[in-house]
Structure 1
Amino acid sequence: MLSLAALYATPAAAECAPRFSQATQTVNVNASDVGNSAVARENFDIRVGNDQTGSCSARLRFSSLTGGEQRPDSGFQLVSGNQEIDILPDENSAPSTKSDLFVPGIAGRSNGRAVPFRLAFATPWGILSGVRQTEILVNLIDEGGVVVDTMILYFNFSVPDAVDLRIVGATGNDSVAEIRLGRLDSRQTNRSDPFAIRVWSTSPYSIAFESENNGNLMQDGGPDRIPYTLRLGGQEVPLSGTIAKTVGSATGTLGDIHPLQVEVEPFVANAGDYTDRVSVTVTAG
């Protein structure tokens, strides 16, 4: 009887032979937005097959192959179902309570089971544009705790050239702001209260200013004009739409502050209200 039992146990153990359907897999995550609450997401499957006839289960264990780093510089999250997956620092690290994903019901002699995943990649300001790759080793562990197959996941995270700006120290909203010069004294130099633009960018960027009236305050309903100067960090800037300043690096999380001030030299003009509209253009890349 013992001999028969031993003979019977051998084919039963061979009823399950889990394997990956492919040795490598690439997942591309393309961020379409950048901001403090922006997240790019991508869904993908890992297919696990079974070369034998029985149905069985296995576990997937994830570890980093990129220098022990678990995540790129702004973080990613790997989820399957309701479980967030821990990425171990390397394959020799002890498993955690979340590093192993249980995969039940792997049918034999079939296409196997597609295990669904969702990859989420945070893209807050402070991140750099470009493509960064993270390599993940996935071990396939059978019911006996033996690693029977491995595959490599390549996560490619793509961040675009992106910019945003806010005008601070002015009235209005994010797209249109108003600088009030108050009552101008025609006999002396007039200066506005300081204001600024705050710029966020994922790459080096340039700033340009374009005046609707070529650097003149135009009289409302009248022919008179008053020339003025716009200064950026104390330096006069062109108001023709040409580049006024180039910044050779991306910004940090809080962005870059560029102080501005309007200056009006002594002038001759009739009384009235005078205005101009200036477009500020920030270009990344």
Structure 2
Amino acid sequence: MKPFALPDPWGIYSVWRRHAEVYRKTWLVNFLPPVTEPLVYLLAFGFGLTPLVGELVYLGQPATYLQFIAPGMIAVAILFQAFFEGAYGSFIRLNYQRTWHALLTAPLSYTQVFLGDWFWAATRGFISGMVTGLVTVVVGLYPLQGLLGSLPILALGSLVFAAMGLLTAGLVVTVDQVNVPIFTLVVPMFVLCGTYFPRDNLPVALNWVASFLPLSSLVDLVRWPLGLPNLWLLELAWMILLMMGVGALAHRQLARRLFS
């Protein structure tokens, strides 16, 4: 068995399918919390603050506050679910359940197991983003054609945050240490990356820092039905670069953890 053999698509699918079957057996318990959380934020902040905010101007176009935060909630749903599945889920499968070790006794390479785990974490993020997006479509806050056009962006964002979760799983020693990137990276992204207010409202230095966080790019791109910023192509390229770079780092770090 070669840990870095070229991946076979069927082997990757087999790992992904294994995780999907486990998820299917407990889907209600696993599905409700990450899906309902962004919806609660949408209802609470949207209906709670709309009377105070009224309309705002985004990229020169007027929009209601609910229309503004709806794409942000789609992005937040992807962030939470993809990252937590990659961080907690992969850490538990690697260190407690020893699922990775068991899979490697089959005719599977390390890269196949890694990619299967990565794609499964991304799938969880994509599902959560899609469900949140469908709710925003039903209540008239996001156009259906906008959601369909955003599918590649949702998939890309899911891969980025799933890779960040897998890198976390490879770096931390105990499950409690996952809280470190949550409170130093995930929570700051959640509140600073334009989900609840335009980033232009932030101080210049903080706005500059927030703009480099991946959730900012995802929010801007998912918000395209309201308009795209001038640098949207750079934001798209930045997300692709992050996906490849963080994915490669996660691949290397988890291999060190597994084979050391």
| TM surpasses 0.5 | no
Larger % of strand: which? 1
Larger % of helix: which? 2
The higher radius of gyration belongs to: 1
TM category, shorter: under 0.3
Q: Which has the higher contact order (CA 8 A, sep 6+)?
A: 2
TM-score, length-normalised on structure 1? 0.22
